[in-house]
Each structure stands twice: as structure tokens, then as C-alpha cells.
Structure 1
Amino acid sequence: MISIAWVTGAGGLIGSHIVQAGRALAPTWTLAPITRAHFDLADFRAVRGAFHSAKPGLVIHCAAMSRSPACEADPKEARRQNVEITRCLAEAAADIPFLFFSTDQVFDGRTGDYDEDAPVNPIGVYGATKAEAEAIVLANPRHMVIRTSLNGGRSPTGDRGFNEQMLRAWSRGQTLNLFEDEFRSPIHARFTAATAWRIALEGKAGVYHVAGAEKLSRWEIGELMSRRWPELKPRTRKTSLRDYSGAPRPPDTTLNIAKALRLPGVELPRFSDWLRGEPPGSF
């Protein structure tokens, strides 16, 4: 019997890396990448019909409205994309494993080093929609949630990884304003994807934090990147959240990844160590 794995958001950064990693890590599964070209996930009748026809044995749900400014500008659409689509898929997948990608933005950022049991308290629309979707997913004892942080890598559109955005700006001669007091746990999407497959195939329900093993400010990330690509003549300007007046930004959403690291074969390196040893062309 053929085992089919749906991967939504396969045209994005993490989704595309899930598909790539699955070819090596899940060779007994037939991968079904789902993008907007296949059908609109917000067309719930079409989703249910496709699900009934394909009968997948696993769903990895990466698709999302993930840009915080867009979510703040249109909360209704953010909720449709992040909550209602997730609800539809989770209900269709009620009897099979379902892995949902969430975010470190479900936390308010007051403390950092959040483990899986820390209470969520989002301060922005994006985080709030993801927290609501998490609750829907976790109501099913077979389902799983991955919270991840700032992901980099090469995306099909060339603009989904934080590295792609930074390198593009520098190549255009732009100066990047980077917060010295906003902290994340950056990770290459290939490590996120490989860990997601370990979790999905392990089949143990619950929440997992999948991120880099290093706390870095936006400014520190920029410094590491600029030293790696000096030929772009990178220009950065150190800024502070104290002087910021835009959409809410939690200051420290670093994730504790001890639980994920206990799984066999999981590798979640320090971003600075990985970047130092990686050929520039792969990032």
C-alpha cells in the first residue's frame, strides 16, 4: 500500500526543504507537495475532496501567512490563513498523524529560552493566530506541533529566507537597520526539515521546539552575515526596540531545544558554527 505524505506550503522556504529532506529520510513515503498551483487551501470543499481522493497517511502543514506586518494589516485574512485552514486540515486528518508548523512568536519575549511547557502569550496578530491554531491541532492526541524560529536557506522564490532578504538588500546597496535587543534562535531550514521528519516518523504527539542552539540578536546575525559576504560591502545600522514604533515585536523568543535534541539523529547546530563551515553558495 502506498503511503502518501501531503506537504502544504511546498513553495515556501520550510516546505520546500521538507520535500527535499523527505526524499532521503522518508523513502517509503510518496511525497505530495501542495502549493497554490494545486488548489486553494482556503477552498475547504476542494481540500476535503482532494483529501478524500488522495487518502494521505501524513500531513505536514507548513503553509501560512507568516509576515507579521501583513498579519497586522489584515487580521481577518491572517486568521483565515493561519487558523481556519489549519482547522480544516486537522479535521480532515483526524485519524492520521498531522504535523503543524508554528512559531516562536506565540511568546511575549519577556524571558527567552522558552521550553515546550511555557505558557503562550502572543503580543501580535501573527503569534495570536498561530497560538489559536496550535490549540486546535493539539486537541487531537495524534497530532504534533513544531515551533521554530528564524529560518534561513534558499527558497524557490528567492525571498523567504532571512539570509536571502539580507543579501538582496546589501546587493542593492541598502543599509539594514538591525535591533541589538531583539533575540532569536536562527537555524538553516534544512536542519528544521530533517528534524521535522524525525518527529513525524517517530509519531509521538505534542509540541517540539526546533531552532538553532544559539541566542543571537538581529544585529549579531547581521555582523556574522556581513563578515561572511564582505564582497557585498554590507552596511548595517545598530538600532533598538526602545526607539521602534511599529507592529509589536517580542524582544526575546529564543527557544529551548533540549526535547528535540533527545530524538535520535537530530542535529540543531549553533548558527555561527554552521555559517563558518558552510560554502557561501549554499546559503
Structure 2
Amino acid sequence: MNAAAELALDLAPAPLSVQETALPGLLVLQLPVHHDLRGWFKEAWQRQAMTALGLPDFEPVQQNMSWNAQRGTTRGFHAEPWDKLVTVAHGSVFGAWVDLRPGPSFGRTAQVRIDPTVAVFVPRGVANAYQSLEDGTAYCYLVNDHWRPGVGYPAVNLADPELDVPWPIALDRGARVSPKDRANPPLAEAIPVPPLKTLITGAQGQLGRALATAFPEAHAVGRHELDITDAAALAAWPWHEYAVVLNAAAYTAVDVAESAEGRPSAWAVNATAPGLLARIAREHRLTLVHYSTDYVFDGHAELHSEDEPLSPLGVYGQSKAAGDLAAATAPRHYVVRSSWVVGQGHNFVRTMRRLARTGASPRVVGDQVGRLTFADELARATRHLLETRAAYGTYNVTNGGAPTSWADIAREVFALSGRDPGDVTEISSAQYAAVAPRPRHSVLDLSRLQAAGFDPADARSALRSYLAAE
């Protein structure tokens, strides 16, 4: 027998597989282990293959090893604030877990025997414990956050009868347990692990207010609490408590942005801040949702897709285009592009309603065409993208229906306010003579959003509902 034949004892190990358990997100992996006369080899973490089978792409940053010299060594239950992938390099363990996440699965347990052919993915909020079943067991695990000294984490007593864990080696006879673990509280006194939070920036704006309503569990901040243009303030923020950032902060004074005073502010908020947030999103594995505008296009095309090259006309559009590019450097990002936003605050629809009620007869531009985007619809679409885990990237989001001009909208508001639509005089963009250039065509292609399962509400219907609530 040649040397190659002598070594090739196991050419076809069991295939890689992933199985669910009674705990949401706790996954058991069967790992292919290749044996020969030299020993064995396995891929303890194989990103492409494992994520294809449903394992989260949890981006590990630290590997830990725990050597258990004697059978019966027992550790846990510990609920550190990170995901982990556990296995053994030598020996075997009895693994046990208890769910400490708030919700219907709180207190539920699961157990699995782990040897070199088995790994278990443990999501954040699930307390982990194990008991070595052999002398000389090497227990190893990957985690996606760095251990921080001096920080305490929720824990549960290994012997709590409410958990009813069938430890192979009795905890009071033969098991080796540290005094600290023996002193952990019972499940009834355990502190639930709170879910990671959502941060909303620009909380006082039209979109920020709508997002705060759609995400009532989120932490909404204004510039007084967190200045996202300040790198030092961002560095000091407790990002380990968050999973998602909804960046609704924006400099939207389109004409003022063309001035010497407004230009630096527009670039700071619309371009520099998204770049800083994208860097933080990369470092802390956050999902960054950044809101964009039709002004990143020059308006020559009658319908703008997400993939159209950026071609902004003025400072506002240029700064927003730069922000789009910066936000897209975050691995988990949604750039949500809208047009003609209407929410709770100063906007075109409210201005037209006020003019209709006060007897004014406005002159309104009729050669700029687009669709209204109601802030609550934009917030609803954001929630949809996050909850369905839509593919990361850029999405156009506006209300649906036929495109209209600003003059069309003004006439509709007048009619719904009991005024003669003829009291609105249609003028051209040249006659309006704005300081900053505006795109003539602002209609955004919604096909990518619809393919992601979101059907935008009709803009005219939304306008009627908005005015009825005013």
C-alpha cells in the first residue's frame, strides 16, 4: 500500500448541515471531519458554506480557547452581549443554553452534546454553559465582539431546578464549578438581555418624527444630544448597545446651501456625517440606513433608477450625492432615495393649505415633475426593508401613482381645501428664478422596492388623508 492510500482513511465525511433548535437562532452544525493516520482536519468556520445554509454572517473578531483538564468541569450560564460559534478541538462537552431574551422564549432551554464533529451558533442574549465529558477537553469559540475587562454580564445558576438541565455529572457530586458560577442567581431573578437598539438621528425633522412613530422602541436624538458631524462625539457614543442607525439628519435648505455660509454646513451634515457613520457601522457591525434625494440627479432622465450615475446640479445635491457614496461603504447599508417629502413640519403641502385658507393665489412651478413622498410611507418602507432583511443597497422610495407637477399638487390642495384650483397660476422654473438649480424630472423608478415586496401607497390618496388629518 502506498503512502497516500495509508493516509486516506476517510475521504467522504458527513456533509455540512445546519439544524434549528427550540431556541430561536440557536443553530447546531454538523461539521465534516476528515480523518487519516495523522489525525483529523475540519473547517471550524467556513463563511461561504455556512452562511449559505442559514448561519448568520456574524463577523467574528476574537477566538477563545478553554482547556478543561478534568472531566466534569462545568462553566456557565453566561450571557455575554455577542454572538458566538462554539465547538471542541479535543474531547467532548455537554452544552446547555437558556434564553434570556425578552419574549415568549425567555427561560426556554436546549442541550446538545458537542464533539469535534459538532458546532453550535449561540445568538446574543442566550446564556451559554457546558460540562466537559472527558479529561483534556479543549473548548473553543469565536465571538463577534471584544471582551472588555470589568464588565459584568447576565448569568443564571447552573443548578436552578426551574431549568431542569440533565447534567451528565451531578453538580453536587463530581462536577467542578467555580464559586462565582455557584453564586449566580436563579432564572426568576435573572436580568433579561435587552435587544440591541435603533438610533434615529435628525429627530426633529419631518422624517425623524415619522421614524420615531414607526420605531417607538428606538432612541431618537437631535443635534443637541448627538452631533453626527463631530467625530469625537460619535467615538464616545455607546455603539455596542445598538444594531441599526436611521440617519434622518440632513441639511435641506437648498438655496441657502449655495451661500458661503450654507455650503460648509451642507457638506458637514450631508456628506461628512454619513462618512463618519459608515465607518462606525463597519467597526461595530451596525446596519446604516441613510436617506437620500432626487437632487443627486440633474433631472434630464424622465425616470431615475437606483443605478443611474449621479449628476447633481447644486451644492445641496452634490453634498447629498457625496453622502450616498460614503454611506454605501458600510457593509450593511440601505441608501433610501426619496423626493418631495411631506410630513409633520414645514413643507409644500402645508404652505399651499395655508395659502388656500388665507385667500392667496400663488404662482407655482409647473415644469418640474415628480411624486410626493409622505414621511410615514418612507418610515413604513424602512421598516419593511429591515424586517424582511432585503438585500443591502440603494432603494428608491416614494409614494406611488402617476407623476405630477408642483402646480398639479397645489391645485389638488386648493380643491381639497374648498378653493377654486384655477386660483393657482402655473409658471415655469425660469420664472420662479430660484437661487439653486432644481431637477426638472424627479420621478424615481420604484421597481426595485416593489421587487423587495413593498407596494407604495398612491400619492394622491395619501395627500387626501394627510389633508383630512390637518
User: Aligning the two structures, in what range does the TM-score lie when normalised by the shorter sequence?
Assistant: 0.7 to 0.9
Query: Given the alignment of the two structures, is residue 129 of structure 1 paired with residue 319 of structure 2, yes or no?
Result: yes
The amino acid across from 1:211 in the alignment is T
User: Quick one: structure 1 residues 16 and 234, their matched pair in 2 at CA, closer, same or farther if it must change by over 3 Å?
Assistant: farther
Q: Deviations over 1:152-175 (max 9, x none)?
A: 13x2xx32x332232234444443
The one-letter amino acid paired with 1:280 is L
Query: For residues 60-209 of structure 1, what are the structure 2 equivalents within 5 Å?
Result: 60-73=246-259, 74-94=262-282, 95-153=285-343, 155=344, 158-159=345-346, 161-201=347-387, 202-209=389-396
Q: CA deviation at 1:215?
A: 0.8
Q: CA deviation at 1:232?
A: 9.9
Deviations 1:8-32 (A, max 9, x none): 1111111111111123xxxxxx410
Report the 3-state secondary structure (helix = DSSP H, G, I; strand = E; otherwise coil) of the residue aligned with 1:175. coil
Residue identity matched to 1:63: A
Distance 1:170 1:106 in 2: 32
Q: Which has the higher contact order (CA 8 A, sep 6+)?
A: 1
**Contact map agreement 1:99 1:144 (CA 8 A) in 2:** yes
Pair 1:13 & 2:206 matched: yes
CA, structure 1 residues 234+206, in 2 after alignment: closer, same or farther (shift >3 Å)? same
Which runs of no fewer than 5 residues in structure 2 stay unpaired?
1-192
Partner of 1:258: 447
Given residue 204 of structure 1, which amino acid in structure 2 is its aligned partner?
A
Asked if the contact 2:412/2:421 (under 8 Å) is kept, the reply is: no
Tell me which of 213, 234, 237 is aligned to 1:50. Answer: 237
Determine the structure 2 residue equivalent to 1:35.
222
TM-score when scaled to structure 2? 0.54
Once the two structures are TM-superposed, the CA of residue 56 in structure 1 deviates from its matched residue by 1.1
In 1, are the aligned partners of 2:271 and 2:319 still within 8 Å (CA)? yes
Point out the structure with max Rg over C-alpha: 2
Alpha-carbon separation, structure 2, partners of 1:271 and 1:112: 18
RMSD: 2.1
Relative to its length, the structure with more helix (as a share) is 1
- Structure 1 pair 232/58, CA: closer, same or farther in 2 (3 Å)? farther
**Contiguous gaps of at least 5 residues in structure 1:** 24-29
CA drift at 1:85: 1.4
> Would you say 1:275 and 2:463 are equivalent positions?
yes
Q: Distance in 2 between matches of 1:193 and 1:162?
A: 19
TM-score (norm 1): 0.88
CA distance in 2 between counterparts of 1:232 and 1:244 reads: 22
Query: Residue 204 and residue 216 in structure 1: after superposition, are their counterparts in 2 closer, same or farther (change >3 A)?
Result: same
Answer whether contact 2:398 2:444 (CA < 8 A) is retained: yes
Q: Separation in 2 of the partners of 1:178 and 1:280?
A: 19
Partner SS state of residue 207, structure 1? strand
Structure ranking higher in strand proportion: 2
Which amino acid is the alignment partner of residue 6 of structure 1?
Answer: L
1:225-264 paired onto structure 2 within 5 Å: 225-230=413-418, 235-246=423-434, 247-264=436-453
In structure 2, the CA distance between the partners of 1:279 and 1:163, relative to structure 1 (3 Å rule), is closer
Q: Deviations over 1:191-245 (max 9, x none)?
A: 1110011113325210000012231101101111111112699942210024343
Report the count of equivalent residues.
270
SS of residue matched to 1:57:
strand
Q: Determine the C-alpha separation between the residues in 1 that align with 2:297 and 2:462.
A: 26
